[in-house]
Amino acid sequence: MTPIQLADRDWAIGGTHTPLAVIAGINVLEDEGLSLEVGTELKRICVDLGLPYVFKASFDKANRSSITSFRGPGLKAGLAHLARIKAALDVPICTDVHEPDQAKAVAAIADIVQIPAFLCRQTDLVVAIARETQAAGGVIHVKKAQFLAPWDTKNIIAKIGEAAPDVGVILCERGSSFGYNNLVVDMLGIGAMHDLGVPVTIDATHAVQLPGADPRTAGASTGGRREGVPIIAKAAVASGADGVFLEFHIDPDAALCDAPSCLPLSSARDLLSTLKRVREAVQG
């Protein structure tokens, strides 16, 4: 597999000898101080460990359980926020798109444009993201839907390739629905997606979600098992994942979205150090 390289950036993913790629940040944009604090610390850790780093945050969480849940600052204010973080930290940016008419504006800011799991089969959205991301010189990160088999992501790759044959594609494992209010990760799926000829990441944060099962809100929001994030991340990297997708917060219990699933920023160095060692062991 030929590694995918971000244009004009020291960031690559895939291939035999590349280091573990890191896409990490916060779930949704809250305030700029939090973004800077989290991004600064994660960049510092990744530089120290020699791991290529991308800052991730969403400007809108369009799939919240409740209409009253915090969604973020929205497209215009959110992209301005991300542009300032990108300039201040001098790092690539990853964020997601929920509607086709957002694709051009997002691709102009984000180095990695993300297709959310629930939307990865929406043809108009996928085509718009593919064309605008290719035009901007970026890369696409596709979250595998909770209802898709790993090998069925070949159709998403084909759809992107038909719309934009020169754009790089990364697939992301984030768990599959297993009964009610539960997700599981089949580590064999990482190899199955690798066999499609693309790099694969693990979203260990969203893989520990308990959809619609947060006891704090009587099921009006998504629960999670924070303690499972390092377990899934280590298992996935041991299974051949090329990169990790992780979300942190200064005070996870106070996070405005997916609080039960995100990790304290204070745990980032130990976890990423361990994941680096696992990746090196796998590479021999």
Q: Is 181 a catalytic residue?
A: no
How much is the pLDDT for 215? 62
How much is the pLDDT for 224? 76
How much is the pLDDT for 61? 82
Give dist(CA 135, CA 237) in Å, integer: 32
* 171 — pLDDT class (breaks 50, 70, 90): very high
Average pLDDT over residues 33-52: 98
Q: Is 63 a catalytic residue?
A: no
Give dist(CA 79, CA 73) in Å, integer: 9
How much is the pLDDT for 235? 98
pLDDT at 97 over 70: yes
pLDDT at 64 over 70: no
Please report the sign of the dihedral spanned by the C-alpha atoms of residue 170, residue 174, residue 176, residue 181: negative
27, 56, 203, 214: the catalytic one is: 27
* 67 — pLDDT class (breaks 50, 70, 90): confident
Average pLDDT over residues 45-73: 88
Is the Cβ–Cβ distance between 246 and 204 less than 8 Å?
yes
Higher-pLDDT residue of 64 and 6 is 6
The β-bridge partners of 140 are: 113, 169
Is the Cβ–Cβ distance between 148 and 120 less than 8 Å?
yes
Average pLDDT over residues 254-282: 94
* 257 — pLDDT class (breaks 50, 70, 90): confident
Name the residue with tokens 């066999």: 195
What tens digit of pLDDT does each residue of 173-231 get?
999 999 888 889 999 999 999 999 999 999 999 999 887 655 665 555 567 788 999 99
Higher-pLDDT residue of 214 and 22 is 22
Spelled out in words, what is the top-level CATH class assigned to the domain 4-283? alpha beta
pLDDT at 36 over 80: yes
* 8 — pLDDT class (breaks 50, 70, 90): confident
Question: Would you tell me how many other CB atoms lie within 10 Å of the CB of residue 128?
Answer: 21
Question: Would you tell me how many other CB atoms lie within 10 Å of the CB of residue 121?
Answer: 17
Average pLDDT across the chain, whole number: 93
Average pLDDT over residues 226-250: 97
Q: What percent of the chain has pLDDT over 90?
A: 82
pLDDT at 266 over 60: yes
165-169 long-range CB contacts below 8 Å, 24 or more apart? Answer: 166/134, 167/130, 167/133, 167/134, 167/138, 167/139, 167/140, 168/4, 168/5, 168/139, 168/140, 169/4, 169/139, 169/140, 169/142, 169/198
User: Domain locations in the chain?
Assistant: 4-283
43, 56, 60, 61: the catalytic one is: 61
Q: Is 270 a catalytic residue?
A: no
pLDDT at 45 over 70: yes
pTM of the model: 0.94
96, 111, 242, 258: the catalytic one is: 258
Burial readout 49-67 (b: 16 or more C-beta within 10 A, e: otherwise)? bebbbbbbbbbbbeebeee
What tens digit of pLDDT does each residue of 110-161 get?
999 999 999 999 999 999 999 999 999 999 999 999 999 999 999 999 999 9
Q: Can you read off the two tokens belonging to residue 229?
A: 């994030």
How much is the pLDDT for 219? 53
Is the Cβ–Cβ distance between 93 and 50 less than 8 Å?
no
How much is the pLDDT for 212? 63
Average pLDDT over residues 235-262: 94
Residue 179: exposure state from Cβ atoms within 10 A (0-12, 13-18, ≥19): exposed
